[in-house]
Structure 1
Amino acid sequence: MKKVLLLLADGFEAVEASVFTDVLGWNKWEGDGSTEVVTVGLRNKLTCTWNFTIIPEKTINEIQLDEFDALAIPGGFEEAGFYKDAYSQEFSNVIQHFYTKQKPIASICVASLALGKSGILTGKRATTYNHPTSKRKEQLKNFGAVVQNELIVQEGNIITSSNPGTAFDVAFLLLEKLTSKENTEHVKELMGFSTTKTK
């Protein structure tokens, strides 16, 4: 079984977290059955961007990082306190562990800034929230990343993306890294994401 650590900061966007639980959950029951997601936070109760409260299955101090095969991090809003957790030393320690072990790390939208803060994007291609009114790309550049004007960037074992609209694609890319392209296409088809057009 491939265990995925879904690392949640206070103020995360629920929709960006749900793609990982859904895609990898569909794989567990309808795909090759090889993936399991564990939700983890810094505390035993978290509030999403728009006051949706959740209880993660574990807190960081209750897990052994070596038991996990991949890391997934959804983005969130500064106004909801996202960066307090995302920029914390505890978050950085988790990110650095997966990077050192060369295990897949998938981030959505501004979650790439947490990767940048941890130091793992120095000199590496990456992207983040890319709306023209946003300064997030400049912030990512200040962390040493080589910022790309692309929706999704894969750099070795690291996936970064540019906005919430990329969320499902990121989750499917992570599934492909953990299983296979064929299995991922099977799960996509079951979920209604098939590129095959019916008449």
Structure 2
Amino acid sequence: MTGDIAEKKILMVVAQKNFRDEEFFEPRDVFEDEGVNITVASNSTDEAEGVLGGRVKPDMSIDDVNIADYDAIVIAGGGGSREYLWKNKKLHEIVREGFDMEKVVAAICISPVVLAKAGILEGKRATVFGDPASIKALKKGGANYEDEEVIVVDNIVTGRDPASAVKFGQTVLETLEKY
């Protein structure tokens, strides 16, 4: 990694409940190992709880995010994404703004659906967790679904599942060095 990666700021978004622990904590560890500044956002600043019992106290509410303050947005997956993030209009707006500003926009597991719903995957290759509802939602958003571990298209990174979490985090950093 280049020396200036430590000056980067990443906004990590988790569902308030049932985020997938590995898809938050493993990329976060990859980012922290490189000295990247991380801010966590969720539906509120109440403690968020992962499927496996991991807990994180969000620094801010999604409603209070100004994407211009960050170099990347990374959305963790897990079943809670469908309930708390898929339909979050403010999050869609943040994703669109980040994409338009050429920030790195990344999501893993079922959270690439948020990117599809935000309208930034039209005609682009992307991956998502292999359940039928997620694949259908990704395609409905115009994405070309591919069953790969991690896919990068320009400033967009999508990851498939918990087993991809470390590679996803590393790929986000590699992409961040280019933007």
TM-score (norm 2): 0.86
Q: Partner residue of 2:4?
A: none
CA contact (8 A) 1:16 1:74 kept: yes
CA contact (8 A) 1:129 1:136 kept: yes
Q: Partner residue of 1:89?
A: 89
Q: Partner residue of 1:19?
A: 26
**Matched position secondary structure for 2:34:** helix
**Matched position secondary structure for 2:163:** helix
Matched residues in 2 for 1:105 and 1:49: separation? 24
TM-score (norm 1): 0.78
Q: Which runs of 5+ in 1 are unaligned?
A: 29-34, 181-199
Cα deviation, residue 155, structure 1: 1.1
Q: Partner residue of 1:2?
A: 8
Q: Deviations over 1:107-143 (max 9, x none)?
A: 1111101111111111111111126xx4422221122
Cα deviation, residue 63, structure 1: 3.7
Structure 1 residues 25 and 52: CA distance shift in structure 2, 3 A: closer
Q: Show the 5 A alignment for 1:95-110.
A: 95-110=95-110
Matched residues in 1 for 2:70 and 2:40: separation? 12
CA contact (8 A) 1:85 1:91 kept: no
Q: Partner residue of 1:40?
A: 41
User: How many pairs were matched up?
Assistant: 169
Matched residues in 2 for 1:18 and 1:53: separation? 10
Q: Partner residue of 1:49?
A: 51
**Matched position secondary structure for 2:19:** coil
Q: Deviations over 1:81-112 (max 9, x none)?
A: 43232121121111111111111112111110
One of 141, 144, 150 as aligned partner of 1:143: 141
- Structure 1 stretches (4+) deviating beyond 2 angstroms? 46-54, 60-64, 177-180
Greater alpha carbon shift after TM alignment, 170-179 vs 51-60: 51-60
Residue type matched to 2:166 in 1?
F
Matched residues in 2 for 1:63 and 1:124: separation? 26
CA contact (8 A) 1:122 1:144 kept: yes
Q: Which runs of 5+ in 2 are unaligned?
A: 1-6
Greater alpha carbon shift after TM alignment, 66-75 vs 171-180: 171-180
Cα deviation, residue 64, structure 1: 2.6
Residue type matched to 2:66 in 1?
Q
Cα deviation, residue 9, structure 1: 1.7
